[in-house]
Amino acid sequence: MAEKTMSERQKIVLPGLLVDTEEQKKQLVDAFQEEFGVEIVIEGVFRTLPGLGGPGDRSDVVASIPIDIVPKIAVHPWHLSGLFSWADDYLTNNHSIIPVESKSEFFKDVEMYQSEEEEI
């Protein structure tokens, strides 16, 4: 099966999740496969800046999922409990703790980031 393009995928962020090793990445991919029957694509990990009441240096994972799975996981306990956020929501709520280079690397195709760039 061909991998979907970014326009056919939804970007998500998993805050506070440590996936520094290939084994940890595999475990995350396997967990989504087991729970939803889809493979997530891990796009990268970055460390947050201090702010919003925290010291910074939190590990946040940027990933994408097939767009057709969004309705299924929108009401799933993983989403409702805060295990992951949609990229637009994440940018809205956490913009001050995301390093500039991480914004441009991981969120350049997210509409929220694009409108933020236009205002600058």
CA-based nearest residue to 20, from 38, 46, 2: 46
DSSP per position, 26-49? HHHHHHHHHHHS---EEEEEEEPP
Rounded to whole angstroms, the Cα distance separating 99 from 66 reads 26
pLDDT tens for residues 49-75?
998 888 989 999 999 999 998 888 888
Q: Which residue has the tokens 């637009």?
A: 88
Q: Tell which wins on pLDDT, 22 or 118.
A: 22
For position 38, what pLDDT does the model report?
Answer: 84
Query: What are the sequence ranges of the domains in the chain?
Result: 6-119
Q: Tell which wins on pLDDT, 19 or 80.
A: 19
pLDDT tens for residues 26-49?
999 999 899 888 889 999 999 999
Residue 1 reports pLDDT greater than 50: no
For position 120, what pLDDT does the model report?
Answer: 43
pTM: 0.82
What one-letter code names the amino acid at 107? F
Residue 4 reports pLDDT greater than 60: no
